[in-house]
Structures are given as structure tokens and as C-alpha cells.
């Protein structure tokens, strides 16, 4: 099963990435593909959260096992495949890329097909805009940063794809999909 994900940021309204992945790809492969495309350091802590349609976190998939409370299931990116957790079109995830400032990308499964990809997955199929800096510290050190793009006090989990510019979501499909 091939999945097409749309990845957006509430920090830059013109930024998005479309990532093509196979259901057998791991969350770690997704993580590394995204980190490489964005020029981020993949060793920084990160987590995926499977969410409901209101972006409320339901299941965490971590980069490393942080040994949470006994009796709580811990999933790690290297052990979990996308197909094990994503079953429905429009299913949503949050990807925490700046763990200490709780900065995130919003991810939605926008298409899936039984076809196979002619390319090795996962890969970035379409990209637009510059990503936000990986760490909030990076933005504080950048004197040219736009102060309006990131508000650490803003509740970032309230963002919905429906709230964004509809033209951004109609940019087209990846050429190799």
C-alpha cells in the first residue's frame, strides 16, 4: 500500500511537503527522510503522535524508548511500520520535531493506493517553502527571523488543515506518485 502524506507547519503558511511512503516503511524511515529534506539533525529527539480528527494525541511513537510508566505501551520508530498504525484516509499525525519547545508539523494521509511505487520509499514527492528552524534556539539566534511566525504560547494542537489557505492544499500531486 502506498501512502501520500501532506506535512504542514503553523509557523510558515507557505511551507508544505508531500511525502510518499509504503505501508511497510517504518516511522524511523519517515523521520530520516523528512529530517534529511529539511536539513535537520536527525539525532534530535522527535516523536510521532497518532491523533484523532481534532489533532488530539492518542498514541506516541518515539525515536527512542524513554521507559515510561510500567504497563503503558511504548512504541519506537524503528519497530513500527506505517501500515500498523495508519488505516484510514485523512488520518492525522503530529510530528514533534523540536521536543523541548513542543514545536510540531501536522501530517495528514491525503491519498493511498494499492499500487507500488517505481521509486524507493519513502521520498519527498513535492515541496514548497522553507521549513521553520529545527530548534527554537536557532530562531532566537537568527536576527532576521520573522517574530510573527512562531508564538511558543500559542496552542499549536488547535490547527486544522481546514483552517489553512485552500490554495495551499491544491498544489498538485508529486510527479513520481
Which of 3.90.1150.10, 2.30.110.10, 3.40.50.720, 3.10.290.30 is the CATH number of 2-165?
3.10.290.30
> Rounded mean pLDDT of 66-72?
61
Beta pairing partners, 107 = 7, 93
More confident: 70 or 60 = 60
Cell of 78: 524503528
Q: Once rounded to an integer, what is the mean pLDDT over residues 59-68?
A: 83
Mean of the pLDDT values across residues 67-90? 84
pLDDT recorded at residue 169: 47
Residues 70-95 have a mean pLDDT of: 89
- Of the chain, the end-to-end C-alpha distance in Å amounts to 12
Q: Spell out the domain ranges in the chain.
A: 2-165
Judge whether residue 176 has pLDDT over 70: no
pTM, two decimal places = 0.75
For strands 57-62 and 75-76, give the pairing: parallel
Percent of the chain past pLDDT 70, that is, above it, reads 72
Q: Which residues contact 105 (CB under 8 A, 6 or more apart)?
A: 7, 8, 9, 34, 94, 95, 97
Per residue in 88-137, pLDDT tens?
999 999 999 998 888 999 999 999 999 988 899 999 999 999 999 988 76
Amino acid at each position: 500500500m502506498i501512502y501520500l502524506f501532506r506535512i504542514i507547519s503553523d509557523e510558515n503558511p507557505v511551507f508544505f511537503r508531500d511525502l510518499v511512503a509504503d505501508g511497510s516503511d517504518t516511522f524511523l524511515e519517515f523521520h530520516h527522510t523528512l529530517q534529511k529534506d529539511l536539513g535537520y539533525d536527525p539525532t534530535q529527539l522527535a516523536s510521532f503522535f497518532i491523533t484523532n480528527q481534532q489533532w488530539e494525541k492518542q498514541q506516541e511513537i518515539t525515536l527512542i524508548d524513554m521507559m515510561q510508566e510500567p504497563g503503558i505501551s511504548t512504541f519506537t520508530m524503528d519497530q513500527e511500520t506505517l501500515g500498523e498504525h495508519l488505516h484510514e484516509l485523512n488520518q492525522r499525525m503530529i510530528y514533534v520535531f523540536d521536543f523541548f519547545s513542543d514545536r510540531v508539523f501536522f501530517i495528514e494521509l491525503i491519498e493511498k493506493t494499492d499500487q507500488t511505487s517505481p521509486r524507493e520509499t519513502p521520498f519527498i514527492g513535492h515541496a514548497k517553502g522553507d521549513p521553520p528552524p529545527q530548534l527554537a534556539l536557532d530562531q532566537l539566534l537568527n536576527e532576521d527571523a520573522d517574530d510573527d511566525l512562531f508564538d511558543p504560547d500559542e496552542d499549536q494542537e488547535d490547527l486544522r488543515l481546514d483552517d489553512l489557505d485552500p490554495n495551499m492544499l491544491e498544489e498538485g500531486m508529486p510527479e513520481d506518485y
